[in-house]
Amino acid sequence: MGNYNVGDMIRLSRIAKKMTQEELSEGVCSVETLSRIENGKHKVKSDTYRQLMEKMYQITEKNYAVCVSRDMELIEEREYFEDAMAKHDFEKADFYMEQMKKLVGKDASTQRYIRRESTFLDYYMQRITAEQLVEALEELAEEVVPQYKKFLDSDVIYPFREQEITLLKRLAVAYGRIDEYPKSIKICEMLLRSLREGYMAEWEIEELSIAANLSKYYGAVGEYCKSMELCEYVLPKARKYAYAYVLYFILFDIEWNKIKMIETGELDQGELEGCKEHIKGIYYTCRAKNNQIDMRNIKNFYEEYFGEAIELSIL
């Protein structure tokens, strides 16, 4: 497979839909502009890309890519489900997933959404193993983006859509669950390479969680300096967009990396007390924000590593 760029993918999609350049460009841009885009001589703007893909029925907006059904009841159940998953309330999420399964129609995108999310939920509910999670998501990825494996070891720029990005992010996380971090790293790097072409509106927001996860995977394979570089890249962006989940994740990851670098002798042992105090500070900030998930993760690490309770006893 060649080194496809965004223009190539628009051209191939157009040909697959049996559309002429005149038909696709009508109401979006001139035929000449479309020709230059397809030949890689003109960088496509995010709005133009969206309109072109919409004309080929490649919906890019997140709400439609996640769940294209017009059934408002199904959309409402999805919102409840995603809120429960974000709060790690898996019992409640399981209830809403069962409701969605009753309402889902024949739309392929919605069915794939259900398969993807129910698989991850099954893992969190301990109904399947991490290995089974990887197997199920790999099967789904082969259906949704059958050529993605060919892009992992190349510099191919493929215009992944929101649903495809979410699926591949989930797959990277799943590989991390079975300690196959090199595969997690390759997937995240592939996604970042494509997103940074700027073909997607608000691509920087999408980039943050991927880069944050990548920093974790680099740390897991002992690449602490690379992990720290990513943390330093993500941190100001997370603050800019007030992305709380990524912000606390990265602040903790920085201290975790420092601790590992102290253990390997890359940083002085005297830095450890500062790491300890910073972790406590992150914990209390999460507590003030009622961020139960990060509180629990930080508390578990702190008490296991330092051998003491993170919260002071109140007499």
Give the pLDDT confidence of 118-137 residue by residue, as tens digits: 999 999 999 999 999 999 99
| Residue 236 counted as domain residue | yes
Q: Give the separation between CA 189 and CA 196, rounded to whole angstroms.
A: 11
Does residue 135 lie in a domain region? Answer: no
Number of domains in the chain: 2
Distance CA 60, CA 73 (A): 22
Chosen domain end from 31, 56, 81 = 56
pLDDT digits (tens, 9 = 90+) for 272-282: 999 999 999 99
Residue 302 in domain: yes
Residue 146 lies in a domain: no
* pLDDT exceeds 60 at position 57: no
Domain encompassing residue 21: 6-56
Rounded CA-CA distance 271/264 in Å is 13
Say how far apart CA 266 and CA 279 lie, in whole Å.
20
pLDDT in tens, 167-194: 999 999 999 999 999 999 999 999 999 8
Residue 168 lies in a domain: no
What CATH number corresponds to the domain at position 40?
Answer: 1.10.260.40
Look at residue 68 and tell me whether its pLDDT is greater than 70: no
Does the model's pTM come out above 0.95? no
Give the span between the Cα atoms of 285 and 210, in whole angstroms.
Answer: 23
The answer on pLDDT for 109 being more than 90 is: no
Q: Is residue 65's pLDDT more than 90?
A: no
> What local confidence, expressed as pLDDT, does residue 17 receive?
67
Highest-confidence segment of 1-5, 60-64, 203-207, 260-264 = 260-264
Q: What is the pLDDT of residues 281-302, one digit of tens each?
A: 999 999 998 888 889 999 999 9
Average of per-residue pLDDT values in the chain: 86
Residue 223 lies in a domain: yes
Please report which confidence band the pLDDT of residue 3 belongs to, taking 50, 70 and 90 as the band edges: very low
Backbone angles phi, psi at 41, to 5 degrees: -105, 0
pLDDT for residue 312: 60
pLDDT confidence of residue 45: 76
Q: Are 236 and 242 contacting, i.e. CB atoms less than 8 angstroms apart?
A: no
Average pLDDT over residues 231-256: 93
In a domain, 128, yes or no: no
